[in-house]
Amino acid sequence: MKKLTSLFIAVWAMMLAFTFSSNAQTVFALQNGSRTQFYTTLSTAINNIQDGDTLYLPGKPLNGDYTFSKKVTIIGAGYDADSAAATGITKFTGKVYFAKKSKGSSMTGVRTEGRVYVQDSSITITRCNLESLEIQNGNNPIGFVYVGDCIISSVIEGCNDVVTNVLVERCILNGNFGGGNKTNNLLIKNCVLTYTGNYFLSSISNLIFQNSIFLITNDYYFIASSSSLTFNHNLFVRPAFSDITFVMTGNIFGVPENDIFVDAANGNYHIKPTCTQALTLATDGKEVGIYGTDNPFLVPTFAPRFISINNAESTKDGKLSVKMTVEARNR
């Protein structure tokens, strides 16, 4: 009964944040157990966050840069126009900082037009569309960062000597890697890497690429000032490397891009049934890319998803009629 009550409160908070914000007034909801508070500005909501709160963001542009310095679960309405058609997408137009003391925070269902800075440990980012990502906070150690089911439009950088145990999984990565020195246990797994420019890997070491698909064919500074790289069971469009200075196991080279995906031009990265070598290439015997693993790539968030929302334009007998269709997900 307690779980059902908490679920009802969470759905109610989301409904108010998403449905009311789709009309005249923007509402930000902070929820923790049976406590729910509402604010009309994001800055005020952030200033009132207590460790362990859940922050529900409306499907609207959120202008400015924002810093989170407490443990918080951030749930947006979604970043994809199709999956968030009823609410609109949640979009940060500026930068987002997970600052020191934000350890254990998470974010899902959000698009950012500025960089996301991870500056503390145990940060989880899922089902977001990020402009770029930086994982670093000077000499402060950072570890156990997870990024999954995301699109990252530009560079991933940072990852200096004191950053450890970072997993980027089932992501579409449109940029390059660079700007750091060393890292330990940075694993890029079941991703699609679309970058085709110069300096793909720049000034970064100790990376593992596994079960992923690389579209790059450019040899010009594919690796610049980088070392200790491992490539396991990946699919490459390019021909095999002629001068191997890193660990290579179970990779396939020279597969034409047009033979791999169903419709990459429109963002459909399902593998064609005819690309048989990709369907069992991964280390777990499944397909490489974002639709491999036991939990393939998903766009909608794990939170209940509003399929349709229909608010009455006026009250009747002091009551406002709200009709909605909600879809629940198990992940």
188 three-class SS: strand
To the question of pTM greater than 0.85 for the whole model, the response is yes
Q: Answer whether 120's CB lies under 8 Å from 145's CB.
A: no
150 CB burial (10 A radius; 0-12, 13-18, 19+): buried
Distance CA 178, CA 227 (A): 12
Beta strand 184-189 with 163-169 is: parallel
pLDDT in tens, the chain (331 residues): 444 444 444 554 555 555 554 555 689 999 999 999 999 999 999 999 999 999 999 999 999 999 999 999 999 999 988 777 677 899 999 999 999 999 999 999 999 999 999 999 999 999 999 999 999 988 889 999 999 999 999 999 988 888 889 999 999 999 999 876 566 678 999 999 999 999 998 888 888 999 999 999 988 778 888 888 899 999 999 999 887 788 999 999 999 999 999 999 999 999 999 999 999 999 999 999 999 999 999 887 665 555 555 555 555 565 555 555 555 555 6
- Which DSSP symbol is given to 246? S
Distance CA 130, CA 92 (A): 10
114 three-class SS: coil
The 3-state secondary structure of 36-96 reads EEEECCHHHHHHCCCCCEEEECCCCEECCCEEECCCEEEECCCCCCCCCCCCCCCEECCCE
Tokens standing for residue 279: 């369907």
Q: Give pLDDT, residue 3.
A: 47
- Alpha-carbon Rg for the chain in angstroms: 21
Residues contacting 3, CB < 8 A, separation 6+: none
Distance CA 290, CA 212 (A): 8
Q: Give pLDDT, residue 16.
A: 53
Q: Hunting for tokens 């005249």 — which residue is that? A: 24
Q: Give pLDDT, residue 220.
A: 78
Q: Give pLDDT, residue 303.
A: 58
Distance CA 128, CA 36 (A): 25
Q: Answer whether 108's CB lies under 8 Å from 74's CB.
A: yes
Distance CA 126, CA 123 (A): 10
**Domain boundaries along the sequence of the chain:** 60-303
